[in-house]
Structure 1
């Protein structure tokens, strides 16, 4: 029974299954790059062909929803100047992704039918494609990457790396955002500098995945043995929320490690030399920081770190007013605008604003170490509970699930921070 649960929880998950099937091709790509006969153009074609095949196998006919925006994005990169390309690609890509999410809304909420699993895989891959498209368009706009304009020869030499970057198979279904500069530097490095794969590094990642999946099995049994949010009372609701959020966290952690392992096997991972690229490799998972921090703002910056960096560059740094609110609002749009997601991300933005004021006030008035220790313990527990609340809202997605969560005893935790935000903001206004 234990073995079957473990298989169902991880290895039989569709995305994990396809990611696992891509490992032999990642090893093959790494091996061929070490060979002198494997040209740079052949490397780009291998990554592009692998992405195309993986998309067709994982998504079936729905793969067209990935191929069409990819071709359109490369066309926009080639036909428009650096000053226009980001705005045009941003609105096209987000518009296309929003239409696909609206199709999911129509199927789930209007037709009351479960969408095909392959459509969910497409939406997940499309969100990652949006990251790569907008990251590359920003690089072109800022002059970090040369635009594919000019003569026919110049365009053809630039468009192949663009296509390969947008569809390269190690990052098609998951993984942290890799900048185009880093991607290009990794592909075009000489054979003598191409990294060899460490068996122990991959074995350590595998052990971490196994450990997380075993914890998931235990926690899942604890959650299934308890009551739901409809039937719980007071502290029981807190335990249910915390343990359910723990299941989501463990799932994310194991998938992030798997995605990181696939990138490492192909030569794009964290152990690769970072001197040639402007941006270093940023793994999505930082379990120690996420589980020990007592600051919601720090949790937000370290949860899915490459996405957090992308949102900061794309939205936060370009927002003149309410940058935190705009960033989380855009994140809700990017995730699909389900009722639970809209509420969850907006609630998270309010909690981040409250977190800044609370810790600023505490640093001014709490000086003795026993009180600081007590304060850190209380804010750690409160941070984890608020994050669990937000996570259940976002993952629940539907309005019915959101209503159950809001009507439960757990709403007291974000409520406390909302009251503190009001009081401290009023105090700050008076001081100013």
Structure 2
């Protein structure tokens, strides 16, 4: 169970908690008229740099370098070419860093530094902000300082124009986690008048703190059950289903706790739900919708609600621009963005097939199931099946070694995605006959 320990030993929560007082301080200073816009940008940037050095050490250069190169590209390229160039550079850089992780884990058979894991996680979030900014410029939502680097302005003027971009890419409330904040929303928050600065609801933050405490208690209780169990290597037959479900539940509790903490940090800094959106811009989207995730009987809905801001980002970046097989391309890019570990390739490919099957299964079910008792029974069975398939996908994505992936595929747990694959094949043939 080394991979399970590796997942839970990340000290990201500690660094996020340490940044919380500075987020409150930033929100308080924004209310003061003496805190200028430039000072706000510098405060967020300095906080991001300090947090990166504290959490990543020397690996922070792997985040600083692409952020600097992105600002150079944004300031020197035209709106029509900025997205393609920045996307290619950022994904190439991130892929090289992930290949370094592969080399350490699979070739050298060594455990990478925890700081390196944190750096890769921060790089993935940086990729979101980079591509979101470049898409906004390409679509005309944000006006870029084109030619800023090439012009004959002084160095101080260049830095003033680049400061908002630097600050956005490295601002500390979103450096290590949190929902994707668009550049428009970020700029509106920083440049907004002090009279419009959002007041912090301490009751809301207290409620989030209680949620985190409850999730951590549940995680502690479930972790004892999982640690005392046989695990994937020692389980037998139907016991493996229980091991998969309980382990996936532990993963979900950890994600929920992290997401609520990240959301609290953004809200403490004033970038949360209380900030009004500009016309045409989507409002604040928190990552955790626990009620929907735990009650839905639709895999497709789970995919849209799991890590919501990332799902929206993938939809905008890949799905809406794909001419053929958009669903498969979106999940394939998600596997690439996550690092292309063997389990991730299996998990995201399986997830894409399951979503496609989900659409067909529920479409046919809505056509033929009319009785209310039968419909309730159908919803209960599909809820159980959805939770087990999601547990299978989650374990496939989180495990690192090929041996663990093979154990999962060779267990009784593979029955659940295989059933949906068979139904997908049969319903596609039926659909073809109807057409």
- Is 1:344 the counterpart of 2:341 in the alignment? no
Secondary structure at 1:263 match in 2: helix
- Is 1:370 the counterpart of 2:373 in the alignment? yes
User: Where does residue 54 of structure 2 map in the other structure?
Assistant: 57
User: Where does residue 292 of structure 1 map in the other structure?
Assistant: 295
Unpaired runs of at least 5, structure 2? 1-5
More moved, 335-344 vs 215-224:
215-224
Secondary structure at 2:248 match in 1: helix
Question: Over the residues paired in the alignment, what is the CA RMSD in angstroms?
Answer: 1.5
Give matches, 1:225-244, under 5 Å.
225-244=228-247
Matching residue within 254, 262, 266 for 2:265: 262
User: Where does residue 310 of structure 2 map in the other structure?
Assistant: 307
User: Where does residue 180 of structure 2 map in the other structure?
Assistant: 177
CA distance in 2, matches of 1:185, 1:68: 26
Contact 1:213 1:254 in 2 (8 A): yes
Secondary structure at 1:143 match in 2: coil
Give matches, 1:115-126, under 5 Å.
115-126=112-123
TM-score normalised according to structure 2 size: 0.95
Secondary structure at 2:34 match in 1: coil
Give matches, 1:115-264, under 5 Å.
115-150=112-147, 151=151, 152=153, 156-264=159-267
User: Where does residue 3 of structure 2 map in the other structure?
Assistant: none
Shift in Å, 1:27? 1.0
CA 1:308–1:273 in structure 2 vs 1: closer, same or farther (change >3 Å)?
same
Matching residue within 377, 383, 395 for 1:380: 383
Matching residue within 16, 41, 49 for 2:38: 41
CA distance in 1, matches of 2:336, 2:10: 26
CA 1:363–1:276 in structure 2 vs 1: closer, same or farther (change >3 Å)?
closer
Contact 2:347 2:397 in 1 (8 A): yes
CA distance in 2, matches of 1:226, 1:118: 30
User: Where does residue 361 of structure 2 map in the other structure?
Assistant: 358
CA distance in 1, matches of 2:380, 2:18: 43
Question: How far does the alpha carbon of each residue in 1:241-285 deviate from its partner, in whole angstroms, 9 at most, with x for none?
Answer: 111000000000000000001001100012333356822110000
Give matches, 1:308-323, under 5 Å.
308-323=311-326
Question: How far does the alpha carbon of each residue in 1:222-249 deviate from its partner, in whole angstroms, 9 at most, with x for none?
Answer: 1122212233233311111111000000
CA distance in 2, matches of 1:78, 1:275: 24
Unpaired runs of at least 5, structure 1? 1-7
CA distance in 1, matches of 2:342, 2:7: 27
Secondary structure at 1:44 match in 2: helix
Matching residue within 91, 99, 103 for 2:100: 103
- Equivalent residue pairs, number: 424
Secondary structure at 1:270 match in 2: coil
CA distance in 1, matches of 2:186, 2:348: 31
Secondary structure at 1:229 match in 2: helix
CA distance in 2, matches of 1:365, 1:276: 42
Secondary structure at 1:230 match in 2: helix
User: Where does residue 70 of structure 1 map in the other structure?
Assistant: 67
Contact 1:40 1:188 in 2 (8 A): yes
User: Where does residue 429 of structure 1 map in the other structure?
Assistant: 432
Matching residue within 111, 114, 117 for 1:114: 111
User: Where does residue 93 of structure 1 map in the other structure?
Assistant: 90
TM-score normalised according to structure 1 size: 0.96
